[in-house]
Structure 1
Amino acid sequence: MSLTLLDPPSAEPVSLADARARLRVADASQDDAINHWIQTARARVERDTGRACLAQTWLERRDLWWGEGRLSAFGTRLRLLKPPLIALEAVTIYGMDDTPSEIDPAAFFVDRLSDPGRLVLRPGMSWPQPGRAAAGIEIRFRCGYGDQPADVPAPLREAILQLTVHLAETNGASSVPPGVAELIGPFRPVSL
């Protein structure tokens, strides 16, 4: 299984102006560094929560439907990565001769309301098996809370802002301050 970012977010959940204000920086002399810290903080929050903040498109390549513990309900539901799910764009299966074919969308239901989003087979349907042994299944999906910074939940935006300040004050130290850990805690995946 591999996961590839195809279209990154078009903005950051925290603006340069907000970060400058929190850092008490009045001029543009540190803008490049601040933008870097914002991007690094967002990437860290996304990694630690397993979520996408702003809308982005990903491609998951799989060898088989089974594996990673993501199939449930007797193999009829596949949990997708990177919640929250905005849209499923395509599910492609590759034949033995590497010919791609899209799965008929009528074969499954896209459950965007679950967290994480899922593909749910319709009654009487089964997952089509790929013809090639490696990367025979491709799932292209769009995920995130929305396109605008205000779409991202306030605790995640605050965590990104606090982590940006921490990165600036510690010259990029990788530790996460306790306040940030508390803010992102409710958004972390739960393992049973």
Structure 2
Amino acid sequence: MTIVLTEPPEAEPLTLAEVKAHLRIDQTDEDAGLQALIAVARQHLERETGLCLMAQTLRLILDDWPATGVIQIARGPVQAIEDVCYYDENGTVVHVSLQGHVLDGQNRPARLWLKNRPLPGRALNGIEVTFSAGFGEAATDVPGPLKRAMLIHVGYMHAFRGVLPPDQQPAGIPDGYERLIAAYRLRRL
């Protein structure tokens, strides 16, 4: 199972103004660096929790249908299933009807049941499920503790800006970060 980002979020959960107010920065000479750190903080938080903070489109790639008939989607919250397709024995893309499908997008992991599950013609990567996930389009849709975790993380990374460039961040995790995101982590046995 592989998940690929096909359409990134159009906005970040934190605005530049929020971050600058948190860091008490008035000048504009660090704006580009702060924007980069906001994106790094979001991406790190999404990896740590398995959540999509802002609306985005992803593709789940499977080798075969699960034996239970229920496809588990590890990224969420899943808002909608946009397309399900498989590759036949000739490598042609065949779209699966979504009529009668059942989606439990708020569950962790999200679950999808399809009425029609034809066998793919490929042994590997034969099935693709395209879905939209995220708390919403607006930053106000993101839970407060996650935004707060991002704020302190951006502040922490900003303190290391002379040591590590944004593409090598995060430099570390600030105190309190783990407590803020603990309730949002996906627990596995």
Q: When the two structures are superposed, what TM-score results if normalisation uses the length of structure 2?
A: 0.90
Confirm or deny: 8 A CA contact 2:41 2:170 kept in the other structure: no
* Contact 2:76/2:106, CA 8 A, preserved across alignment: no
**Distance in 1 between the 2:106 and 2:158 partners?**
37
Amino acid paired to 1:141: F
**The one of 45, 61, 72 aligned to 1:79:** 72
Letter in 2 for 1:104: S
Q: Would the aligned equivalents of 1:85 and 1:116 in 2 still touch at CA under 8 Å? A: no
Q: Distance in 2 between matches of 1:95 and 1:190?
A: 36
The residue identity in structure 2 corresponding to 1:2 is: T
Give the counterpart letter for 2:98 in structure 1. P
Alignment partner of 1:176 is 2:173: yes
* 1:93 aligns to 2:93 (yes or no): no
Amino acid at match of 1:23: L
Residues 1:57 and 2:86 aligned together: no
Counting matched residue pairs gives 182
After the TM superposition, which residues 1-192 of structure 1 pair with which residues of structure 2 at under 5 Å, given as runs? 1-66=1-66, 75-122=68-115, 127-171=117-161, 172-192=169-189
Contact 1:163 1:177 in 2 (8 A): yes
Distance 1:109 1:48 in 2: 27
* Deviation of the 1:107 alpha carbon: 4.9
Q: 1:103 to 1:15 in 2, by over 3 A?
A: same
C-alpha RMSD over aligned residues:
1.5
Cα shift at 1:117? 2.0
Report deviation, 1:47: 0.7
Structure 2: segments with no counterpart, 5+ residues: 162-168
Unaligned runs of 5+ in 1: 67-73
Q: Secondary structure at the match of 1:91?
A: strand
Deviation at residue 121 of structure 1 after TM alignment:
4.0
Alpha-carbon distance between aligned partners in 2 of 1:79 and 1:173, rounded to the nearest angstrom: 29
How big is the shift at 1:173? 4.8
Q: Does structure 2 retain, via aligned residues, the 8 Å contact 1:41–1:160?
A: yes
| Distance in structure 2 (CA, Å) of the matches to 1:34 and 1:152 | 20
Q: Do the aligned partners of residues 59 and 190 (structure 1) sit closer, same or farther apart at CA in structure 2, a change above 3 Å counting? A: same
The two structures have a TM-score, normalised by structure 1, of 0.89
